[in-house]
Chains A and B, each alone.
Chain A
């Protein structure tokens, strides 16, 4: 597990957008460069980071090397678990406050 490289790979909005695009299916550098309005070398740099973090895999097909999401890469699961942890932590911290307000009147009501 290398959470550091996953975090730095995900910290960039372009790289997150690339991942979201790849969730729809395989794409070449050229196909990725178009909607992002970026040059191919700069897309390639982002892809290198994503590949290094184990979030995507690339296969050789001539010079194209199309990329797709790493299907069961541990890093890909870490990425999702990190999001889940963030969302749940925020929810449960709020639930702490809600419970504090619930319990007080409850205790009053239950008293004989």
Chain B
């Protein structure tokens, strides 16, 4: 019962949609303010983001560093392109695993939806090498959890 919708758009893009019970302003701020990002932008259980730099202005830098506290770590760098407060963010990011993945162009939209927000994110589908590199990171742990759920269902 996932509230997340995820589909491919052509063979180059992925579109993610998710509703939140909070105003577009709050959801928007949660995406650009480091102190808030560090609370949720973490991936699988056990990972933290000790470093988060987010200069929310056109050309501003983005840097997130994750750690699992067991020697596993990787980081992301990026640049903001466009910021329309509480409505839309366009940025470019790449993961360092440690080789950088090709640039991911991300457009995030925040639309009022009743008393909440509909978030839509359009991103670039990484190439085969980058996908494999991402799969080989500690994100496996999160996948184990979903396999366990699948096992429970069968």
Contacts and interface: CB of A to CB of B under 8 A. Distances in A.
Interface of A: 7, 10-11, 16, 19-20, 22-23, 69-72, 76-77, 79-92, 94-100, 102-103, 106
A89 B5 CA distance: 10
Contact of B142 (A23, A76, A86): A86
B146 A98 contact: no
A96 B39 contact: no
A16 B140 CA distance: 9
Interface residues of B, number: 43
A53 to B, nearest CB: 14
Nearest to A55: B132
Interface of B: 2-4, 6, 8, 11, 14, 16, 18, 20-23, 26-27, 29-30, 36, 39-45, 125-126, 128-129, 131-136, 139-140, 142-143, 145-147, 150
B132 A20 contact: yes
A104 B26 CA distance: 11
Closest 7 CB pairs of A and B: A23-B132, A20-B136, A99-B22, A80-B131, A94-B40, A95-B40, A86-B142
